[in-house]
Structure 1
Amino acid sequence: MPILRLAVALSALAYGSYTDWRTRTAPDSCWLAMGAAGLIILATEMVEEDWDPALLLMLIPIGWFFFDLLIERRGIFEGGVNVPPLALYVVSMAIIAWFFLDHYHEERFWALLSVPLMFLLYFVLYIIDVIKGGADAKALIALSLLIPWYPVMDGLPLLPLPSDVAQYIMPFSLLTLFYGAILTMVVPVYYFILNMVRGDRRFPSMFFGVRMDISEAKKRFVWPMDYIDGDEVRTSSLPKGPESLEEHFASLESKGLTRIWVTPKIPMLIPLTLGLVIAAVVGNVIFFFI
């Protein structure tokens, strides 16, 4: 099962990274496929390993929460009561409440409960803008379902977990995000070296982007770092992105600018994919140093 889980995850993330790089969009079908595969594999694993049959009921809230996060629908109280999703939420919460009361002592219940808890975590991180892209949040939510616990194979990961409980303290998908975030720290170093070679030495902009002709920037997936503030041209190292790029570029050109600082839109899915590989091969370095 670990190899199958990793194969599905890597395939979906690699394809999502490719489309995100080419078009800056990633199809939801990638994450839906990951989640569907995760449910099937999880159910199969539970049956083959003789889990308490009652725990199969936990797949109802897990599956419903997952698909409801990824598939658009009418709000529960939008235009009247939307009965089907409301009923599914009532049933799902009732199942979880029953397990809390009757199976709270079972480790496997908490293992299953960690999956929707990770859904909630990534949803909150997206809402508060810690995770910037919707595709990134969906990918992590799907990964939480597809690989709910650390994949263990012959000789891998290189750093085994100190205990089974450790994987619930920092689930595998969260470790993947951690490694992905670490990898993004390479980008400022790359920009610094590139700008030093080119002679574009402006601090701190040289750590966050490059200089580019406006005519070229219009064709690329970039955010302009330069902007007009009153009558002055200023530079933001961490631009949020204007509502209209066309108008933004026009305003810069009106000031006689032909070359500006820009920061490329680098899809987070790429470091997440690499982070998945590192997490599977290396394991959790945090527990190694604790």
Structure 2
Amino acid sequence: MIEILKLAACLPFLLYSSYLDLKTRRVPNRVWKLMLLSLSGFLIYEIVNGGIYFLFQLVFSFFSSLFLVYLLFRSRVFGGADAKTLIVIGTLIPVYPALEFHGYTFPLLGFPPAGLFALTVLENSFLLTAAVPLGLFCYNLLHFTPDMLKKPFYMLFAYRINIKDLRRLLEKGRHIRLAERFELNNGKLYPFFAGRGITVNQNMISRLEAHEEQGLLGSTVWVTPGLPFMIPITASFVLAVILGDLIYYFLTEILSRFYFFIGK
């Protein structure tokens, strides 16, 4: 019962952070502080009842989550809010929740061998996010131009947009980022991959317009939609509770079928 209450108490914070991420692409630190403070009673209760063994699981889950998200954050895979979310989840839910409901045992697909709930949430979120490159690639195919062949890899995470349309989109509150940074050298403009992208603002647009007028840049640039990663994290949180580790399940299914065919 305590696990159900704790999981249910996490959801409002995750849903609210997803809303903020969608609207502003920013989630203030007070959300995670309030989440930790509000749910600390559950941890105290579990430490008292679980003793040293639960405390060991808590410490292991916290430092494992911290180490993993630090590496991913330094690699610019995701932002600070996403990293803090997984650290908080790893702290509040150090033991993978096992639930019984109407004769069903959750997660339905079984428990992953690592047993780290935050790791499963992260893996599921990556799996959900994998649908985005596929969608962008299909969009780029529908709006294909020969220039895209120069950088076909960009078609998986960005799309081309006219520089003249950037101000209008910015005024509408669209969250887009430049997929490339530009450096002027000896009268030529050189593009470089910009990782997670560069924020588009009025000054940036003015520079791009000036480069276009000078003939240094074409009429279009690659932009990335700057997707709110909190949404797949929240969705994967629910999936981790109900189904389990989807990547682990799919991999074991593929390997078991592979060995089956080999053994025939």
Relative to the length of structure 1, the TM-score reads 0.69
> Structure 2 vs 1, CA of residues 118 and 246 (structure 1 numbering), >3 Å: closer, same or farther?
same
Unaligned runs of 5+ in 1: 56-106
Q: Deviations over 1:185-230 (max 9, x none)?
A: 1111101111212234612222221222334434032112354343
Q: Deviations over 1:117-153 (max 9, x none)?
A: 2353146325523553111111111111222211222
Mapped pair 1:222 → 2:176: yes
Equivalent in the alignment of 2:95: 149
> Structure 2 vs 1, CA of residues 243 and 15 (structure 1 numbering), >3 Å: closer, same or farther?
closer
Query: Which is worse superposed, 209-218 or 144-153?
Result: 209-218
Higher strand content, 1 or 2: 2
Cα distance, 1:29 vs. partner? Answer: 2.5
Mapped pair 1:184 → 2:129: yes
Matches of 1:10 and 1:29, distance apart in 2:
16
Mapped pair 1:270 → 2:220: no
Mapped pair 1:159 → 2:105: no
Relative to the length of structure 2, the TM-score reads 0.75
> Structure 2 vs 1, CA of residues 280 and 51 (structure 1 numbering), >3 Å: closer, same or farther?
closer
Matches of 1:39 and 1:262, distance apart in 2:
41
SS of the residue corresponding to residue 118 of structure 2 reads helix
Q: Deviations over 1:3-51 (max 9, x none)?
A: 222222222111111111111111222212222233211222344xx44
Q: CA RMSD in A?
A: 2.7
Matches of 2:110 and 2:179, distance apart in 1:
43
Tell me if the contact between 2:180 and 2:198 (Cα under 8 Å) persists in the aligned partners. Answer: no
Determine what percentage of the aligned residue pairs are the same residue.
Answer: 29
SS of the residue corresponding to residue 204 of structure 1 reads helix
Cα distance, 1:171 vs. partner? Answer: 0.6
Matches of 1:247 and 1:39, distance apart in 2:
45
> Structure 2 vs 1, CA of residues 111 and 228 (structure 1 numbering), >3 Å: closer, same or farther?
closer
> Structure 2 vs 1, CA of residues 259 and 113 (structure 1 numbering), >3 Å: closer, same or farther?
same
When the two structures are aligned, how many residues end up with a matched partner? 230
Query: Which is worse superposed, 237-246 or 203-212?
Result: 237-246
Mapped pair 1:196 → 2:150: no
Mapped pair 1:280 → 2:234: no
SS of the residue corresponding to residue 199 of structure 1 reads coil
Tell me if the contact between 1:161 and 1:284 (Cα under 8 Å) persists in the aligned partners. Answer: yes
> Structure 2 vs 1, CA of residues 285 and 22 (structure 1 numbering), >3 Å: closer, same or farther?
closer
SS of the residue corresponding to residue 161 of structure 1 reads coil
SS of the residue corresponding to residue 99 of structure 2 reads coil
Q: 1:111 aligns with which of 57, 69, 78?
A: 57
> Structure 2 vs 1, CA of residues 161 and 242 (structure 1 numbering), >3 Å: closer, same or farther?
closer
Matches of 1:245 and 1:170, distance apart in 2:
43
> Structure 2 vs 1, CA of residues 207 and 200 (structure 1 numbering), >3 Å: closer, same or farther?
farther
Matched to 2:22, the amino acid is W
Unaligned runs of 5+ in 2: 213-217, 256-264
